DNA sequence: CAACAAATGGCAACCGATTGCCGTCCGCGG
DNA sequence: CCGCGGACGGCAATCGGTTGCCATTTGTTG
């Protein structure tokens, strides 16, 4: 059952290997009759071109790598899903790499894969800017949910989203909000905090930042406690996982959400709509982000642009039950 | 910045390429002094072996493909995560393929990847047995959450789990259960129904099956309605997504869970603990399943066993709020 | 000290494609 | 009838390694 090669086909068809090769990858270069014949023989032999051999000389592997900072976070699934679909649609293969929140692992893996993929999707990269730039000098790179001057990137809109979020809280009567920050090396965390602080200043709210916290449910306990010490009536968690952890801790401590404290998150992960109370959060088409990132990578292989594209995918604030008027009486279930 | 090859190293070190090659892949074959020298030169030149070239001749790509029937299902995330970690630990790369619930796509993709990966992990494959066997004749394959005679497999224990589940319901006083089945081509669906029916018979319960339903939240509505028509007081959904959909629909229809109807699911996805009421479900270490599958694949490359291993990862029933005594007064929140 | 084996390094074929360049054959215009 | 250019097919080098086999050196043994 050894699979057949271009040589087998060439021999069986009575032509040279170059002709077989061209019949597949450069059809106009061979006569119509010959091409038909070769293709027919190839089909009969069940010939399947070997991607490795092809890649070795053509330097195109038709593979892209997606590096995520933490595969545990359900939010990335959407990203991955979108990327996988777009890649598959163009006959590309997606390899998945989990950086486990470690810049070192991230770098190591990228290094390891350079020769075997055509480009990298770096989702929520924890890499310092200079390292990213250096990386991009040697490889095709699209960063996701991070903006780096000079690099192609796709981010889910969040500046305007943060503004809306703070506006929403202000309109409910909150006067003091706390941002429960994500990891120190997270560009998103910095960017969100800037937007929140800006919006708060505009609207005359007090804004504080606590943290950093790991963007996990487990960290939510500490984050909730920190939030309470600030006296703020609204907590903006770095992401939904953290927010859900916060909700849990608040429930344990007997703090009512949203009457005592409002809580909002980011990402609108599947569970955000299911937890109690349902989480107000900034959602968006994450799959589109992944899709767009692959798209950019693929087109950048055809023609290299002068200006690397910076895409923004729209987001929207999804109001649910975890935000409300501060001090308002708790919902009576059934009322 | 063209990366250096084995030739560059050989020249710089004043040895033959074969020596360089062996210094890396067969260290005992060269003298210690030479090896050190070559390695030193290689390091200085930043030499990195080209995996493609290596794979072309060695026929080992150090890559495994994971094919999932539906990447949308969060349950697979854990599987993927475990697989990725185990693969990375051995210096292997994980490529991810979404079969989109289509056996055709599944087959197509496997075909496409045969030459570029060392083996396949088939998670919840929808492939007919004969196709799987044929596939396994040509490739290294481990099936996940499916048992196929003659194939290596890893499944999360569920027969005993179903028994416990039915036992749990029986002990609460239920006398009639309905299984809301998964896709027709799902081995799991068939296997679970068999276990449920068996356990029900043993315990003197009435068991019915409805469906098949797509294992998604969206299908939960239809599933819930179907369940209600049976008059059963307990519904066992094919997975948590379906169960969550069922809970939603029941809430919409004003049916109390668990007092009117108990609901249980499978997988214990993250959201299962967050929905209202929290879902009783059969959970387990899904990441271990993925890990084990890769493990089996990798060891099967070293020595091919006579008997393909069939692993079972333990599961456990996680009791939460969606199951209870039928007809018992609803929980008064706050009481 | 001769003879022989083990250790070590090099030569060159090979994995399975792609591709630049050349030769042949054909049709066509002059 | 000769010459020219385009279409088509083949030769062989190349991508970057691996590996079987041979040659040389070195150490060992009788």
pLDDT tens-digit readout, B84-112: 999 999 999 999 999 888 889 999 899 99
- Band (pLDDT 50/70/90 cuts) for residue B32 is confident
- Whether B303 shows a pLDDT value over 80: the answer reads no
B7 beta carbon to strand D: under 7 Å: yes
Q: What is the pLDDT, as a whole number, of residue B28?
A: 86
List chain A residues with CB under 8 Å of B112: 91, 93
* Greatest Cα pair distance in chain A: 86
Q: What is the pLDDT, as a whole number, of residue A335?
A: 38
| pLDDT tens figures, B245-286 | 999 999 999 999 889 999 999 999 999 999 989 999 999 999
What does each C-alpha distance from B152 to A181, B79, B146, B161 come to in angstroms? 45, 16, 10, 22
Q: What is the pLDDT, as a whole number, of residue B330?
A: 58
- A107 CB-side CA count, 13 A: 13
- Whether A20 shows a pLDDT value over 60: the answer reads yes
> For chain B, what percent of residues have pLDDT higher than 70?
96
B25: nt with nearest C1' to CA: D18
Measured between CA atoms, how close is B193 to chain A, in angstroms? 28
List chain B residues with CB under 8 Å of A74: 74, 77, 270
Name the 3-class secondary structure at B88: helix
Rounded average pLDDT over B49-60: 92
A34 beta carbon to strand D: under 7 Å: yes
- Whether B230 shows a pLDDT value over 50: the answer reads yes
Name the 3-class secondary structure at B234: strand
- A285 CB-side CA count, 13 A: 11
Instruction: Provide, in whole angstroms, the distance separating residue A160's CA from nucleotide D21's C1'.
Output: 70
Q: Decide if A116 and B72 are in contact by the 8 Å CB cutoff.
A: no
Instruction: Provide, in whole angstroms, the distance separating residue B56's CA from nucleotide C5's C1'.
Output: 35
Residue B218 in contact with residue B245, Cβ under 8 Å?
A: yes
- Whether A332 shows a pLDDT value over 60: the answer reads no
| pLDDT tens figures, A112-148 | 999 999 999 999 888 999 999 999 988 999 999 999 9
Residue B71 in contact with residue A50, Cβ under 8 Å?
A: no
Distance in angstroms (rounded) separating the CA atoms of residues B285 and A93: 28
Measured between CA atoms, how close is A81 to chain B, in angstroms? 7
| Pair of tokens at residue A203 | 């609207």
**Mean pLDDT across chain A, nearest whole number?**
91
Residues 286-315 of A with CB under 7 A from strand D: none
Instruction: Provide, in whole angstroms, the distance separating residue B18's CA from nucleotide D22's C1'.
Output: 14
| Pair of tokens at residue B55 | 């794979």
Cα B246 versus chain centre, distance = 23
Per-residue buried b or exposed e for B125-144, using 16+ beta carbons within 10 Å of the residue's own CB = bbbeeeebeebbeebbbbbb
Distance in angstroms (rounded) separating the CA atoms of residues B247 and B96: 32
B18 beta carbon to strand D: under 7 Å: yes
- Band (pLDDT 50/70/90 cuts) for residue B334 is very low
Residue A166 in contact with residue A319, Cβ under 8 Å?
A: no
- Band (pLDDT 50/70/90 cuts) for residue A331 is low
Rounded average pLDDT over A82-87: 94
Integer-rounded Cα radius of gyration of chain A: 26
Q: Residue A33: how many CB atoms within 10 A of its CB? A: 8
Q: What is the pLDDT, as a whole number, of residue B266?
A: 96
Rounded average pLDDT over A258-266: 94
Distance in angstroms (rounded) separating the CA atoms of residues B318 and A310: 46
Helix (H) / strand (E) containing B284: strand B280-284
DSSP conformation letters of B208-233: EEE----SSTTTHHHHHHHHHHHT-S
Q: What is the pLDDT, as a whole number, of residue B72?
A: 82
Rounded average pLDDT over B178-196: 94
| pLDDT tens figures, A28-83 | 888 888 899 999 999 999 999 999 999 999 899 999 999 998 888 888 888 999 99
Q: What's the per-residue H, E or C state across A105-147?
A: HHHHHHHHHHHHCCEEEEECCCCCHHHHHHHHHHCCEEEECCC
Could you tell me the sign of the dihedral formed by the alpha carbons of B310, B314, B319, B325, in that order? positive
Distance in angstroms (rounded) separating the CA atoms of residues B106 and B99: 5
Q: What is the pLDDT, as a whole number, of residue A304?
A: 66
Helix A129-138 and helix A103-113: axis angle, to 10°? 0
Rounded average pLDDT over B15-39: 89
- A104 touches B: beta carbon within 8 Å: no
- Of the candidates B61, B70, B217, B250, the residue with the CA atom closest to the CA atom of residue B139: B61
Instruction: Provide, in whole angstroms, the distance separating residue A49's CA from nucleotide D12's C1'.
Output: 21
- Band (pLDDT 50/70/90 cuts) for residue A1 is low
Q: How many residues does chain B have?
A: 335
- DSSP state, residue A291: H
| Pair of tokens at residue A311 | 């895409």
Closest residue (Cα, C1') to C20: A18
Residue A125 in contact with residue A146, Cβ under 8 Å?
A: yes
Q: What is the pLDDT, as a whole number, of residue B328?
A: 72
Residue A244 in contact with residue A268, Cβ under 8 Å?
A: no
Residue B217 in contact with residue B211, Cβ under 8 Å?
A: no
Rounded average pLDDT over A206-233: 93
Indicate the residue of A53, A55, A274 with minimum beta-carbon distance to B271.
Answer: A274
Q: Decide if B95 and A97 are in contact by the 8 Å CB cutoff.
A: no
Rounded average pLDDT over B112-139: 91
- A43 touches B: beta carbon within 8 Å: no
B185 beta carbon to strand D: under 7 Å: no
List chain B residues with CB under 8 Å of A111: 48
- The domains located in chain A, with CATH, are 6-49 (1.10.260.40), 63-156+286-315 (3.40.50.2300), 159-283 (3.40.50.2300)
Distance in angstroms (rounded) separating the CA atoms of residues A231 and A58: 62
Name the 3-class secondary structure at A232: coil
- Band (pLDDT 50/70/90 cuts) for residue B2 is low
Name the 3-class secondary structure at B316: strand
* Greatest Cα pair distance in chain B: 86
Measured between CA atoms, how close is B184 to chain A, in angstroms? 24
- Whether B14 shows a pLDDT value over 80: the answer reads yes
Beta bridge partners of A157: none
Rounded average pLDDT over A153-180: 95
| Pair of tokens at residue B303 | 């020595």
Q: Residue B29: how many CB atoms within 10 A of its CB? A: 12
Residue B197 in contact with residue B207, Cβ under 8 Å?
A: yes
Could you tell me the sign of the dihedral formed by the alpha carbons of B300, B305, B308, B314, in that order? negative
- Band (pLDDT 50/70/90 cuts) for residue B27 is confident
- Whether A21 shows a pLDDT value over 90: the answer reads yes
**Mean pLDDT across chain B, nearest whole number?**
91
| pLDDT tens figures, B198-214 | 999 999 999 999 979 99
Q: Residue B238: how many CB atoms within 10 A of its CB? A: 27
Q: Tell the burial category of A129 from Cβ atoms under 10 Å away from its Cβ (0-12, 13-18, 19+).
A: middle
- Whether B152 shows a pLDDT value over 90: the answer reads yes
Distance in angstroms (rounded) separating the CA atoms of residues A330 and B250: 25
- Band (pLDDT 50/70/90 cuts) for residue B304 is low
| Residue pointed to by tokens 């050190």 | B36
Q: What is the pLDDT, as a whole number, of residue B335?
A: 38
- Whether A334 shows a pLDDT value over 50: the answer reads no
| pLDDT tens figures, A188-215 | 999 999 999 999 999 999 999 997 999 9
A18 beta carbon to strand D: under 7 Å: yes
Q: Decide if A50 and B113 are in contact by the 8 Å CB cutoff.
A: no
What does each C-alpha distance from B279 to A60, B249, B261 come to in angstroms? 48, 14, 12
**Cα torsion through B301, B302, B304, B305, rounded to 10:** -120
For chain A, how are helix, strand and coil distributed in percent, rounded to 5?
45, 15, 35
Residues 111-140 of A with CB under 7 A from strand D: none
Sequence-ordered strand ranges (E) for B10-140: 63-68, 93-98, 119-123
- Band (pLDDT 50/70/90 cuts) for residue A333 is very low
Q: What is the pLDDT, as a whole number, of residue B63?
A: 94
> For chain A, what percent of residues have pLDDT higher than 70?
96
List chain B residues with CB under 8 Å of A72: 81
Rounded average pLDDT over A259-275: 94
- B57 touches A: beta carbon within 8 Å: no
Indicate the residue of B51, B72, B113 with minimum beta-carbon distance to A93.
Answer: B113
| Pair of tokens at residue B74 | 């969060």
Between residues 278 and 297 of chain A, which touch chain B (CB distance below 8 Å)? Answer: none
């Amino acid at each position: 059952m050894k699979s057949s090669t271009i040589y087998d086909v060439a021999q069986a068809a009575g032509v040279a290997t170059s002709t077989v090769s061209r019949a597949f990858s450069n059809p106009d270069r061979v006569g119509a009759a010959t091409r038909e014949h070769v293709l027919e023989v190839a089909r009969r032999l069940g010939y399947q071109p070997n991607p490795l051999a092809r890649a070795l000389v053509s330097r195109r592997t038709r593979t892209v790598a997606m590096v995520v900072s933490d595969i545990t976070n359900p939010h990335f699934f959407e990203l991955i899903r979108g990327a996988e679909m777009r890649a598959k649609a163009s006959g590309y293969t997606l390899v998945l790499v989990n950086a486990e929140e470690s810049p070192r692992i991230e770098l190591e893996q990228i290094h390891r894969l350079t020769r075997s993929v055509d480009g990298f999707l770096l989702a929520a990269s924890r890499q310092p800017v200079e390292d990213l730039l250096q990386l991009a000098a040697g490889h095709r790179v699209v960063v996701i949910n991070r903006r780096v001057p000079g690099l192609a990137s796709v981010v889910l809109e969040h500046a305007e989203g943060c503004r809306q979020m703070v506006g929403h809280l202000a309109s409910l009567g909150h006067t003091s909000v706390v941002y429960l920050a994500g990891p120190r090396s997270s560009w998103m965390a910095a960017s969100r905090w800037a937007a929140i602080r800006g919006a708060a200043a505009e609207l005359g709210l007090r804004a504080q930042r606590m943290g950093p916290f790991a963007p996990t449910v487990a960290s939510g306990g500490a984050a909730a406690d920190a939030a309470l010490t600030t006296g703020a009536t609204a907590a903006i968690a770095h992401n939904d996982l953290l927010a859900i952890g916060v909700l849990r801790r608040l429930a344990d401590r007997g703090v009512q959400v949203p009457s005592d404290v409002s809580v909002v998150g980011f990402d609108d992960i599947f569970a955000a709509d299911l937890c109690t109370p349902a989480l107000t959060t900034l959602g968006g088409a994450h799959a589109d982000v992944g899709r767009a990132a692959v798209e950019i990578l693929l087109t950048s292989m055809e023609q290299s642009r002068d200006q690397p594209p910076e895409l923004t995918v729209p987001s929207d604030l999804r109001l649910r039950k975890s935000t409300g008027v501060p001090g308002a009486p708790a919902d009576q279930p059934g009322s």
